Structure formats: C-alpha cells, structure tokens
Amino acid sequence: MNDVWRSLDDVPADLGRTVVTVGNFDGVHLGHQHVIARAGELARELGADGVVAVIFEPHPIAVLRPEHAPPTLTTVDTRVDLLVESGVDGVLVLPFSREVAGWSPERFVRDVLVDALHARAVVVGANFRFGNRAAGDVATLRELGAELDFVAEGIALDGGPQVWSSTYVRNCLSTGDVEGAAEALGRPFTVRGVVVVGDKRGRELGYPTANVPTSGMQCAPADGVYAGRLLRLDTGEQMPAAISVGTNPTFAGERERRVESYVLPEAAGDDLDLYGVEVEVAFVSRIRGMLRFDSVEQLVEQMADDVRRTRARLVEQPR
C-alpha cells in the first residue's frame, strides 16, 4: 500500500479491509509506536490488507483553541515519514476544520473508519477522544464496532514508570533535556528546515554555521549549545556538529531564534556549502546553556571548548 491521502476523496474506493489507528501522532514517540505495533499484530491476525493511520492537519487545538496550541514536534510530512517507518502502510491526512470538529462520533466512524477505510479493527490510545465536544471514546468505538463489523482496542501508552506523551517530550525539550526526549521518542529529537543565509558572523569568527530559522509553531530545544548531527536530505550525508539554539545574545540586535550547526572540520571538508539545502538537525546531548559574553575573544574561546566537548560527546555516543 504505502500511500498518503490528503482527503477522504483521495482514498481509493477499492481499498481492502484495514486496521486503522487514529491520533495526532505528533513526534511518533514510543507510546505511538506501541499502538502501531499492536495494529500490525491485529492486521496479521485478522488477515487485513494493511494498517492505516489517520492524522489531523492542522492540530485540532490549533483550530479550536489556537491560543492554547502547543508547538509541534514534527511537521506533517515528517510525521508521515515516521509513521511509515514505524510500520504503517497508508496515512490519511484528514484536513481538520470547525466543520469536522462538529461531526458526531457516529458520523466520524461511518464516514472515515467504515465507508472510506473499510476498518476491520481500530486501535487507539486508551485516552483517545473524538467527535463533537470529544463525546466519543474507546467504549463508543466498541459499541459502534459491534454494529458496523469492526473490533476496537484502547492501548495504554506505557513507558515503564513514565507514560509517553507528546507533552512529556515538549517538557523535556523546554529544559534542554534532549536525552530524555530521545528516550521517549526512541531516537534523537530533530528539526528540519532549509539552510538560509545568516549574518555570516560565525564564518568571520572561524566557525561557519548552517542556519535554520525556528518557526513559532515548531518545537526546538531550550536555548543553549548541543552536540548532534546534521543530515543533508539531498544526499543522505550525515555529519557531526556543534549546534547552537537561540538568539546570539552576545551581539546587539540579534532576536531571531535559530538553530545554527557548526559541522566539525574533519567532516566539513574545504568546500561545504549548505545554502538552500534542506537539512535535518539531530540533538544528541546538551553541552551548556546560552551565555552572553563581554567580548568576542571570550566567545571564540568558549566556542573552541564547545567544539572540543561536542567531539568528545559524539565519540561517547557514536550513534
């Protein structure tokens, strides 16, 4: 299958019986992966034709209560990629609007799960709610499934003592705990974007960086310096990097928050040019918080130490 549908109209009419999982899946963390794994097991047990994930774009809270909308951990395209990597065979990106928010649980089940996706089973997180005013839950799914020929399961998003959630990952990132975020995600946290031309101050200081602006709606770790890796999405080349997140407080007038990656010289070569290239920046370990320096000389001395510590951290954590 391995298809992505951007509306209900895009789903082929001859789609076979599927196991469906529904949610925002922001970050596709270990709790989400647990749900997807169970959906895969059910698909094999029931002889279904595949697993389909239903996600919403934009996030329902961004439509219903935009002032309370959290920054997203992943763009919708990254989410689709991660879902497929986790074992999903198809993804329905359902455009979310106030009209869709007003659908009753029964309409959502009939229009989306049954008529479009031909659900044989539905697997969701145990706290899943859906439909107008969040009136539907797992019990609702089971009741409607008995009528419409599908089974439903609610899966606890367990992570040992911690229940994994997108909120938990955001809380880790807000304190710079990228290792805690990685534990919940099952992989390092990443941001993705196109490298833009910056002020070139790093180049003047001997530390040229690849700059990716951070959108107000996409998460980034707390301001500071991190050891990590930069992946070129055009070539697949991955390079070790010292990564700064913040607004360059040492220099007056710098207010745009950016992710700036200095690729270690042993990996950069003599002619590394990343302008206009889409990259993915992975955060492995926090080096320090953001500091303001009284002189450029102090900043350069600290940057040299940051690079030394980054190299040491990446040797300790080679993957």
Least confident stretch, 36-45, 155-164, 285-294: 155-164
Has residue 202 got a pLDDT over 60?
no
pLDDT of residue 270: 66
Average pLDDT of the chain is 90
Determine the Cα–Cα distance for residues 227 and 203; give it in Å rounded to an integer.
19
**In this predicted model, which residue has the larger pLDDT, 317 or 91?**
91
Instruction: Find the helix or strand (DSSP H, E) in which 232 lies.
Output: strand 224-232
Q: What is the pLDDT of residue 116?
A: 97
Provide the pLDDT for residue 255.
61
Task: State mean pLDDT over 104-125.
Answer: 98
pLDDT of res. 218:
81
Look at residue 257 in the predicted model and tell me its pLDDT.
Answer: 81
**Are 125 and 25 contacting, i.e. CB atoms less than 8 angstroms apart?**
no
Least trusted range by pLDDT, from 5-19, 82-96, 295-309: 295-309
Q: Is the per-residue pLDDT at 208 higher than 70?
A: yes
The string of pLDDT tens digits covering residues 239-289 is 999 999 987 655 455 567 889 999 999 887 767 789 999 999 999 999 999
pLDDT of residue 314: 92
Q: How many angstroms separate the CA atoms of 301 and 206, rounded? A: 11
- Helix (H) / strand (E) element for 222: namely none
Q: What is the pLDDT of residue 19?
A: 98
Closest C-alpha to 283, from 159, 136, 169: 169
- Backbone dihedral region of 236: left (phi > 0), alpha (psi from -120 to 50 degrees) or beta? left
The per-residue pLDDT for 292 is 81
pLDDT of 246 reads 87
**pLDDT tens, residue by residue, 48-87:** 999 999 999 998 999 999 998 889 999 999 999 999 999 9
pLDDT in tens, 119-165: 999 999 999 999 999 999 999 999 999 999 999 999 987 655 667 89
More confident position, 295 or 205: 295
Q: Which residues contact 289 (CB under 8 A, 6 or more apart)?
A: 176, 222, 223, 224, 225
CA–CA separation, 77 vs 241, rounded Å? Answer: 24
